Amino acid sequence: MVMLSYFVYLLFFLSDCLMRDELKELCRVLNYTFQDEFLLRQAITHASKDIGYSYERLEFLGDAVLELMVSTFLFHQYPQYNEGQLTAARTKIVREEYLATWAKAHKLGDFLILGKGEENSGGREKNSILCDVVESIIGALYLDGGFEAVRRLIVEIISFCQNKPIVTLDAKSELQELLQKSPNQNISYKVIKQEGPPHNVTFFVDLYVNDIKQGQGIGKSKKQAEQEAAKQALQKMRKKNDL
């Protein structure tokens, strides 16, 4: 019994050592050393691991920090841009495909802590998860070191995205630009429900323009569902106005 307890303790000790080594390597990739190591561990833990915490709350915070800092950068960098151009430039940088591509370029998927189901379904390479993890890491950086800790990473992400070929506006940006031509057009996206286990969630999102429902989208991430809702709204508007 004593030997068994010792063996279990040894396994936990070795596992913790390996995790600490991985966190140190991730800090090297991010060029930042965390004061609160748990924040970084939380930022790379998927809900499918089911250990009482995950990156979801940090993702919520990081999404807001990312949007604010990218907006600030673009505002100062491009004084000649109007609101529509600034919105399009920001959307390009914060879109799922670019953040996920940046994550893959830095092999962030190797550091993810996943449950068996998500591991077996290729979670380390899923754009939706990698995008979420970039945002959660930004949230963790902000809490650990403030805006200055985040700034270097944001500048790197912006540089990475700006060096990519210009792409056609996604549905959300196209809808935003279309509605900006008319005054007082407010767009909002609302998650109405989520279905499925943590490692395979499906999101249902409704899109409203001035509190009138104009589209609904379904996707494996909130961003994907929002894009689908925007596509539906665009189709409806084009059909109505014969655009």
Statement to judge: residues 132 and 45 lie in one domain: yes
Statement to judge: residues 140 and 176 lie in one domain: no
Cα dihedral: 10, 12, 15, 17 (round 10): -70
Show the DSSP H helices in the chain as ranges. Answer: 2-30, 37-43, 56-77, 83-94, 96-105, 116-120, 127-162, 171-179, 222-241
Query: What is the residue-wise DSSP string for 61-73?
Result: HHHHHHHHHHHHH
> Domain for residue 21, yes or no?
yes
Q: What does each C-alpha distance from 178 to 65, 188, 189, 221, 225 come to in angstroms?
A: 26, 15, 17, 24, 20
Statement to judge: residues 178 and 153 lie in one domain: no
Domain of 211, in residue numbers: 171-241
Statement to judge: residues 198 and 157 lie in one domain: no
Range with the largest mean pLDDT of 3-12, 43-52, 179-188? 43-52
* More reliable by pLDDT, 162 or 136: 136
Statement to judge: residues 77 and 181 lie in one domain: no
Residue for token pair 């007082």: 184
Report the Cα–Cα distance between both ends of the chain, in Å, rounded: 76
Say which of 135, 170, 206, 226 is annotated catalytic: 135
- Our answer to whether residue 156 is catalytic in this structure is no
Looking at residue 5, its pLDDT comes to 45
Statement to judge: residues 110 and 18 lie in one domain: yes
Looking at residue 221, its pLDDT comes to 87
Q: Which residue, of 162, 187, 213, is where some domain finishes?
A: 162
Q: Which residue, of 123, 142, 162, is where some domain finishes?
A: 162
Statement to judge: residues 121 and 230 lie in one domain: no
CA atoms of 199 and 191, how far apart (whole Å) = 18
- Our answer to whether residue 135 is catalytic in this structure is yes
Is it the case that residue 182 has pLDDT exceeding 60? yes
CA atoms of 234 and 175, how far apart (whole Å) = 6
pLDDT in tens, 85-118: 888 888 878 888 889 889 999 999 999 999 888 8
> Domain for residue 212, yes or no?
yes
Statement to judge: residues 21 and 125 lie in one domain: yes
CATH number at residue 156: 1.10.1520.10
CA atoms of 149 and 153, how far apart (whole Å) = 8
Of 4-18, 88-102, 142-156, which range is least confident? 4-18
Looking at residue 43, its pLDDT comes to 95
CA atoms of 91 and 174, how far apart (whole Å) = 10
Q: What is the model's pTM?
A: 0.68
> Domain for residue 7, yes or no?
no
- Tell me whether residue 48 is exposed, middle or buried, using C-beta atoms within 10 angstroms of its C-beta: 0 to 12, 13 to 18, 19 or more: buried
* Overall domain count for the chain: 2
> Domain for residue 134, yes or no?
yes
Statement to judge: residues 184 and 116 lie in one domain: no
> Domain for residue 137, yes or no?
yes
> Domain for residue 61, yes or no?
yes
Statement to judge: residues 45 and 149 lie in one domain: yes
Statement to judge: residues 45 and 88 lie in one domain: yes
Is it the case that residue 8 has pLDDT exceeding 50? no
> Domain for residue 4, yes or no?
no
Say which of 63, 144, 170, 228 is annotated catalytic: 63
Is it the case that residue 140 has pLDDT exceeding 90? yes
CA geometry: angle 170, 172, 174, nearest 5 deg: 65
